[in-house]
Each structure stands twice: as structure tokens, then as C-alpha cells.
Amino acid sequence: MSKVAPPILSARGVAKTYASGVVALSPTDLEIRAGEIFALLGPNGAGKTTLISIICGLVNASAGTVTVGEFDNVRDWRAARGLIGLAPQEIATDAFESVWATVTFSRGLFGKPRDDAYLRRLLEDLSLWDKKSAKIMALSGGMKRRVMIAKALAHEPRILFLDEPTAGVDVELRRDMWALVRRLRDSGVTIILTTHYIEEAEEMADRVGVINKGRLILVEDKAVLMEKMGKRQLTIQLQAPLRALPDDLAGYRLELANEGHQLIYSFDAKGDETGIAGLMRGLHAAGLDFKDIQTSQNSLEDIFVGLVGVGA
Amino acid sequence: MNLRGARAIYTFELSRWFRTLTQSIMAPVISTSLYFVVFGSAIGSRMSSVDGVSYAAFIVPGLIMLSLLTESVSNASFGIHMPKWSGTIYELLSAPVSWWEAVAGYVGAAATKSVLLGLIMLATARIFVPYHIAHPAMMAAFLVLTAISFSLFGFIIGVWADGWERLQIVPTLIITPLTFLGGSFYSVAMLPPLWRHITLFNPVVYLVSGFRWSFYAHADVPVGLSLAATAGFMIACLIVVWRIFATGYKLKP
Ligand SMILES: Nc1ncnc2c1ncn2[C@@H]1O[C@H](COP(=O)(O)OP(=O)(O)OP(=O)(O)O)[C@@H](O)[C@H]1O
Ligand SMILES: [Mg+2]
């Protein structure tokens, strides 16, 4: 029981240089655990889609191997592909087909026997059931994106790739999408999604990978990441505004804000000594009264900006 | 083996066609009728018989071959170019579908359409000309074999083409001239000796000749050669398609 479950997907040394000479992906190692939600976070052109495309068989890797389940995605491509569902970044559908026709096609293409009950549940889950006979071109952009997800799930894959599932989706629908992804995860599907939105990764992911300029800079449990990298801030609301910082407190990383009504103290949450106790004594010694104190944690966004800034 | 996958592609492609069934049937009926009105009646009445059959009857196999070639190439090239252009091909490429299953689906559907069209034209021609078919089984074999090989050829063009203009280039620049110069409307024996020799480099001559033989038991080139040429062309196309999928040429960056 103590043995760690093998990863459901692993990429080793996967790299891609396009024919144009663009190095889209430097040799990359990545392991995905069964049942997790993994968010691949990175700016435009970072190589997210390239990595996903190699795993799904849409792009030939320049180097490296990908194992899906226990199958190599080149040698045992048939078995490997059967485990994967892909909802690509660009919406691409057969405009003249009905929703129902396109999902039954997808299921058949993956060699699964017809199962109308399953497809019905799937469409209901994605709020598409009442649109099942509608032509895809008559759907809104958000609905089309859900059709893409329905197609990806039509063959009951164990791993689902969502390449920017919430691009061009309004706030409400984005919340629905998040809820859907969680339900899928609860039903045992492993989910790998890419996003530009930090809040999305923060909201949903169990683990986060940060990719920039073709390099996977970091892979970490979201919670660990936040803890490890997160700087915290202590905001002190003063009774009376200050014009300048008292000399006694010069040793602390303090800033005056809000026209002297606030003192902001930054500290490293992972350090043993936060320095808060000393600061409090210092405030007391300087005769500063305060009415409120708050601590806040840096968001993934700050971490990300820091990382990508450093990596760039 | 993923036969379900092949069948899904096949039925999907055919259902696209069935949506426009009236058009699909009317177009060949009208074009065949026009050919017979112009070539068969207007011109043919002033022409002596060719190889012992009336001119109108003589052109029946050639006309059907002509449509069979163009329809096969355009159906199959459109069928695979469309998903490539719209991006829906991602699904085929990420599916557990092998190259020959994909081919069975796409090329099978395109060939089915053109065989049906050929049969419709054959029926239409009957209204104008009382032709007869000497070797029905061989006729069917040529029909199917040609439909499959040129659908394969169209499939290759559809993958190769980078845009809709390119998709038209091969049919207009190669297929149409070859078919018109391939003896659809005349017997190779009617040409001056030099041209007769040059013509023998045109693969369509073998198709038309073999097909016409199955009707009137008279051929410009030996039937065995016709069959071998068609089969050879089909195998060549199959090898190219296999290599396309193996390397991902124009399909996978
Ligand atoms: N087919 C291709 N041919 C040549 N270069 C490509 C191709 N596809 C992607 N690239 C290049 O590879 C790099 C990585 O692109 P990729 O699409 O993987 O980025 P991404 O992280 O998905 O970006 P985005 O967030 O904008 O979707 C980019 O520089 C891009 O221009
Ligand atoms: Mg992308």
C-alpha cells in the first residue's frame, strides 16, 4: 500500500522544434497522477498546445517518449489514444451537423459501441440536451465549446485534455465549466487543462505546471506552491496617519500606504521567523496605535509573474 | 482493428452527401442528357459508326468514365480537405484509427458516391441510346476499381493541397485534359500514327478502353493491360497514402 501509484501519463524528454526552426518545447519531463486536475499555466506561445498535441498524437515529437497508462503513444498508439479525449483550443466543428450526430460520430470514431443513454447523460451534463438536434453553426460560442468537450468525452476517456476551456467564455459559464471539471474529476477522469488565467489554476487545479518559452519551469502541488512561494503581507491600520517611517522601525520591510493610514509589512511565510512579534514591540515602542491588522497571501498570479519574469 | 471507426467515417461522409441527394442525382442526370443531346444526337447523327457501334452508343462508356474520374477525385479530395481546412481533422488524428481504416472510410464513401453516379448515368443514357453490355461483371469491376483508385488519388490531392485553389489545380490541369484526350469521345485508332503512340502514355486510355471493351467487346489496348494499369495505379496510390499517414506529411507538423 505504501507504493506510490504509477503516473497515468508521463512524458520523458519530450521536445519539439517546428520545421520553421521555432523551438516550441525544450526537453520536458512531466508526470500526471491518476485522478488529478493538472493546470498547465503559461503565456501565449509558451508551448502548452505543442506539449498537448504531442501527447495526443497531433504533432510529431522531435525527441522524447510519452506513456499513457502503460502504453507508449507511438508504439502502442491505438491503446494510448483510446484513453485520451481532447478538446482543442480552437473551436473546430462540422457546422452543418447536429450536436447529436457529431457526438455519435466521435464515439464511433474511437471504436466504442453505440450507447445512447451515456451520450444523453453527457449532453445533459453539459446543458446541451435541448440542443441535440440543432445544427452546430446555430449555437453560441460557449455552446460550441461545450460541444467540443462533449465530443472529447463521447468515448469515455480516462484522461481529458482541455486546451483553454474557458477562453472566450463569460464569467457565469466559466463557473459552470469549473463545476463540470470537478464533477468529471470526481467521476474518476484525470484532467489536464491549460490556461492563461491564474485564478483558474488557483481555483481548480490540484497541481500546477508553469511553462514559459518552451520550458517547464516548475511543477508543484498548488498548496505547496502557494505556501513555498507565497509572500505574505501584514497590513496595519493606524489610528493616526504617519508622515514618515519612524527610525526605530527602519530594520523592517515596511511601506506606508493610503496616505499614511496604513503600514504594510512584507514577510516570507515559509521562514521560521516572520518578525511579526518584533514588529509589534517596535510599534509599541514607537508609540504607534493601530485599530486593525490583516494578513494576506500572495496569489498564484504574483508567483507566476515573479517566475516568468525571472525565467524570461 | 477499429472497424467501427471506419464505419463512422463512412456513414458520416455519406450522410453529408444524402443531405443534398436531389442535387447529387440531378447533376449527373442533366449532364449526361446534355452530352447525349449534343454529341449523341446533333453530332452523332452526322457521324458514321465507330468500331461497329453507333457513335451515340460508342461514347456511353467514355462519358461514364469521364464522370467517374472527375467525381471520384473531387469527392475524395473535398472529403479530406474539408476537415483539414476547418480543423476538425484533429479528431481523426487523435483517434485510434489506422491509415487504412481512415482510407476505408473516406475513400470508400467517395468511391461509393461515384459508383452510384456512374450507375445513374448508365440508366440515363439508356433513355437516349440502346447500348448493350457484353461483359457485365467486368464492367462492374472496372467501375469499382476505377472509382476506388481515383478516389485514392483525390484523397492524396486533398491532403496535399494547402488551399481550395490548389485543390482545383490537379483536376483542371491534369485530370480533365487526360480524360478528354483519353479516347472518351473517339477511338484511338482514329488518330494519326504519331498521336496514337503518344496517347499510349496516357493512363486514362487504358481505363476507357477496358471499360468500353466490357460493353462492346472491342478495345484499343488489350483488356489485361487495362486491368493491370488500373490495379497498378491503385497500388501506387495506396502506397502514397500509407506513407502520408506514416510520416504525417501535411497532416502533422
Ligand atoms: N504548426 C506550427 N508551425 C510552426 N510553429 C508553430 C506551430 N505551432 C506552434 N508554433 C510555435 O510554437 C510556439 C509554441 O506554440 P504553442 O501553440 O504551443 O503555444 P501555447 O502555449 O499553446 O500558446 P497560446 O497560449 O497562445 O495558445 C510558438 O512560438 C508558436 O508560434
Ligand atoms: Mg495554445
B243 touches chain A (CB under 8 A): no
Mutation to test the B interface, candidates A109, A119, A145, most B Cβ within 10 Å: A109
Chain A, nearest residue to B253 by Cα: A59
pLDDT of A311 reads 44
φ, ψ at A165 (rounded to 5°): -65, -20
Amino acid A298: pLDDT: 64
Confidence of residue B183 (pLDDT cuts 50, 70, 90): confident
CB A261 within 8 A of CB A237: yes
Give the domain ranges of chain A: 9-227, 232-298
pLDDT at A93: 87
User: d(Cα A11, Cα A14) in Å, to the nearest integer?
Assistant: 6
Mention every residue, 6+ apart, whose C-beta is less than 8 A from residue B21.
none
Contact B93 A58 (CB under 8 A): yes
**pLDDT score of A2:** 44
Say if residue B12 is exposed, middle or buried (CB neighbours under 10 Å; 0-12, 13-18, 19+): buried
pLDDT surpassing 60 at residue A312: no
Q: Residue range B217-234: average pLDDT?
A: 88
Residue B148 or residue B44, greater confidence: B148
Residue spans of the domains in chain B: they are: 3-247
- Choose the weakest-confidence range: A60-64, A196-200, B225-229: A196-200
Does residue A20 line the site of ligand 1, with CB under 6 A?
A: yes
What pLDDT digit, counting tens, does each position of A4-45 carry?
678 999 999 999 999 999 999 999 999 999 999 999 988 889
Dihedral (CA of B91, B146, B118, B45) sign:
positive
Query: Given its phi and psi angles, is residue A282 left (phi above 0), alpha (psi -120 to 50 degrees) or beta?
Result: alpha
**Average pLDDT score over residue span A125-151:** 92
Q: What is the mean pLDDT of chain A?
A: 87
| CA separation for the pair A117, A123 (Å, rounded) | 10
**Residue A228: is its pLDDT beyond 80?**
no
Q: Give alpha helix (H) positions in chain A.
A: 48-56, 77-82, 99-109, 116-125, 141-153, 171-186, 198-204, 222-229, 276-285, 300-311
Q: Does B176 score more than 60 pLDDT?
A: yes
Closest among A104, A107, A13 to A64, alpha carbons compared: A13
For the cut 90, the answer to whether the pLDDT of residue A276 exceeds it is no
Which DSSP category does A98 fall into? B
Residue B72 in this model has a pLDDT that exceeds 50 = yes
Q: What are residue A66's phi and psi, to 5 degrees?
A: -125, 130
Listed range (B73-77, B181-185, B239-243) with the worst mean pLDDT: B181-185
From the CB of B253, is ligand 1 less than 6 Å away? yes
CA of A73 to the centre of ligand 1 (A): 21
Answer whether A39's CB lies under 8 Å from A219's CB.
Answer: no
Does residue A205 register a pLDDT over 70? yes
DSSP states along A276-300: HHHHHHHHHHTT--EEEEEEEE--H
Evaluate: CB of A49 within 6 angstroms of ligand 1. Answer: yes
Is the pLDDT reported for residue A308 higher than 80?
Answer: no
Is the pLDDT reported for residue A224 higher than 60? yes
B248 CB neighbours in chain A (<8 A) are 60
Asked whether this complex has an ipTM greater than 0.90, the answer is: no
- The listed range with the strongest mean pLDDT (A58-67, B36-45, B168-177) is A58-67
Q: Which ligand is nearest to the CA of A43?
A: 1
Residues 6+ apart with CB under 8 A from A81: A56, A57, A68, A73, A110, B94, B95, B96
What is the model's pLDDT at position A229?
60
Please write down the HEC assignment for all residues of chain B.
CCHHHHHHHHHHHHHHHHCCHHHHHHHHHHHHHHHHHHHHHHHHHHCCCECCECHHHHHHHHHHHHHHHHHHHHHHHHHHHHHHHHCCHHHHHHCCCCHHHHHHHHHHHHHHHHHHHHHHHHHHHHHHCCCCCCCHHHHHHHHHHHHHHHHHHHHHHHHHCCCHHHHHHHHHHHHHHHHHCCCCCCCHHHCCHHHHHHHCCCHHHHHHHHHHHHHHCCCCCCHHHHHHHHHHHHHHHHHHHHHHHHHCCCCCC
Kindly list the distances between the CA atom of residue A274 and the CA atoms of A61, A180, A190, A252, in Å, as whole numbers in the listed order: 47, 40, 38, 11
Q: Report residues near ion ligand 2: CB below 5 Å.
A: A 48-49, 89
Q: Sign (positive/negative) of CA torsion A295, A301, A304, A308?
A: negative
Cell of B182: 483519353
How far is it, in rounded angstroms, from Cα A217 to Cα A307?
8
Residue B136 to residue B20: CA distance in whole angstroms: 30
The cell for A256 is: 506606508
Q: Which pLDDT does position A253 carry in this prediction?
A: 79
Tell me the fold of A9-227.
Rossmann fold (3.40.50)
Residues of B in contact with A94 (CB under 8 A): 86, 88
Tell me the shortest Cα–Cα distance from B74 to chain A, in angstroms.
19
Whether residue B76 contacts residue B114, with contact meaning beta carbons closer than 8 Å, is answered with no
Residue A264 phi/psi, 5-degree rounding, is: -115, 125
pLDDT, greater one: A250 or B226: B226
Q: Is the pLDDT of residue A1 over 50?
A: no
Which residues neighbour B195 within 8 Å (Cβ) at sequence distance 6 or greater?
A: none
pLDDT reading at A300 higher than 80: no
pLDDT value of position A202:
81
Neighbours of A213 (CB within 10 A): 17
What is the predicted pLDDT for the residue at A304?
67
In chain A, what is the straight-line distance between the N-terminal and C-terminal CA atoms, in Å? 42
Please indicate whether, in this complex, the C-beta atoms of A94 and B91 are within 8 angstroms of each other. Answer: no
**A120: helix, strand or coil:** helix
Determine the residue of chain A that is closest to B248 in CA distance: A60
Closest in B4, B19, B252 to A111, CB measured: B4
Chain A CB within 8 Å of residue B87 CB: yes
Q: Do A108 and B98 touch (CB under 8 A)?
A: no
Residue A204: helix, strand or coil by DSSP? helix
Classified by CATH at the fold level, domain A232-298 comes out as Alpha-Beta Plaits (3.30.70)
- The three-point CA angle A275-A279-A284 to 5° equals 155
Higher pLDDT, B16 or A58: A58
B221 or A121, higher pLDDT: A121
Asked whether A128 and A102 are in contact (CB, 8 A), the reply is no
Check residues B203 and B91 and name the one with the higher pLDDT.
B91
For residue B90, the model assigns a pLDDT of: 95
Hey, which of A251-265, B137-151, B156-170, B186-200 has the most confident mean pLDDT?
A: B137-151
Residue A301: what pLDDT? 63
With a pLDDT cut of 70, the percent of chain B lying above it is 97
Q: State which H helix or E strand residue A193 sits in.
A: strand A190-195
Average pLDDT over residues A211-220: 90
| B90: nearest CA partner in chain A | A58
Please name the residue of chain B whose CA is at the shortest distance from the CA of residue A151.
B91
Amino acid in the structure at residue B40: G
Q: Residue A135 pLDDT more than 80?
A: yes
pLDDT: is A171 or A57 the higher one? A57
What H or E segment, with its residue span, contains residue A10?
strand A9-17
Over residues B26-56, the pLDDT tens digits come to 887 888 788 878 876 767 666 677 777 888 8
The band of A215, judged by pLDDT with boundaries at 50, 70 and 90, is very high
